[in-house]
């Protein structure tokens, strides 16, 4: 009986303690300011590492890696951050950051040829868009195919016939661009062609090049 009374008393005390904790203000913890920093370097990967790597972790994380890691190992580490942990870095960033880390924290030298190549990768070129693809979009957007076709006359001449007419004209591209831009009538019949003055010079050139290739 005494044991039961003792257990009941302890249970009541525990419940009172829990109720008191529930009503208490949440515990606030103030962390010390971040003092870790990436080692300075003249390599382009230094500011990039400061900008990108610090998003996910402290610079202290670098010091936890095994000493003497090679360029390949540090690059693999940066690649793991990109592909496994979703770090917001591109393949080019991986190469540049890997070179910085390998020289500053690993066994590589800044003068190494592979470090220089990794630190200065070729600038990504924008994808090349074919003239035909650009022209196709322009033909659709400006309703050109309502009056023209590639190989037969509709309202206006076939593009094949236009290309044949100007085939030996050294000023062919400029003439066709001008016809598109300013419109006109009389060259292919009495039905006038409206002007397309809103088109840029690049768009006019794309259309004229496409027509002359038919």
* Long-range pairs for 196-201: beta carbons < 8 A, 24 or more residues apart: 196/142, 199/138, 199/142, 201/177
> What residues in the chain have per-residue pLDDT under 50?
1, 3, 5, 10, 19
Q: What is the spatial distance between Cα 209 and Cα 125, in angstroms, rounded to a whole number?
A: 23
- pLDDT tens per residue, range 88-114: 888 889 999 999 999 999 999 999 999
Place of tokens 């050139």: 205
Q: What is the spatial distance between Cα 93 and Cα 124, in angstroms, rounded to a whole number?
A: 12
Domain regions of the chain by residue span: 45-119, 131-212
CA distance between the termini of the chain: 106
Q: Provide the Cα torsion 108, 113, 116, 117; round to 10°.
A: -120
pLDDT at 199: 87
CATH 1.20.140.10 given to domain 45-119 = no
- Check the CA dihedral 39-42-43-46 and report its sign: positive
Query: Residues near 166 by Cβ (< 8 Å), separated by ≥ 6?
Result: 172, 175, 176, 212
pLDDT at 87: 82
pLDDT at 129: 57
Q: What is the pTM of this model?
A: 0.47
Q: Under CATH, what is the fold of the domain 131-212? A: Cytochrome Bc1 Complex; Chain D, domain 2 (1.10.760)
């Amino acid at each position: 009986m005494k044991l039961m009374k003792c257990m009941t008393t302890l249970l009541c005390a525990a419940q009172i303690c829990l109720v008191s904790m529930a009503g208490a203000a949440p515990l606030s913890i103030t962390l010390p300011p971040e003092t870790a920093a990436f080692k300075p370097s003249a390599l382009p990967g230094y500011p990039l590492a400061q900008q990108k790597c610090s998003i996910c972790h402290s610079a202290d994380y670098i010091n936890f890696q095994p000493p003497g890691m090679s360029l390949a190992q540090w690059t693999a580490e940066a690649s793991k951050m990109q592909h496994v942990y979703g770090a917001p870095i591109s393949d080019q960033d991986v190469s540049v950051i890997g070179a910085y880390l390998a020289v500053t924290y690993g066994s590589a030298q800044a003068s190494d040829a592979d470090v220089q190549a990794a630190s200065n990768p070729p600038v990504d070129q924008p994808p090349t868009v074919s003239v035909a693809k650009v022209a196709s979009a322009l033909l659709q957007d400006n309703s050109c195919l309502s009056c023209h076709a590639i190989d037969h006359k509709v309202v206006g001449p076939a593009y094949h016939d236009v290309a044949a007419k100007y085939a030996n004209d050294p000023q062919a591209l400029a003439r066709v661009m001008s016809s598109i831009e300013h419109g006109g009538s009389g060259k292919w019949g009495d039905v006038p062609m409206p002007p397309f003055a809103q088109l840029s010079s690049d768009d006019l050139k794309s259309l004229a090049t496409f027509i002359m290739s038919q």
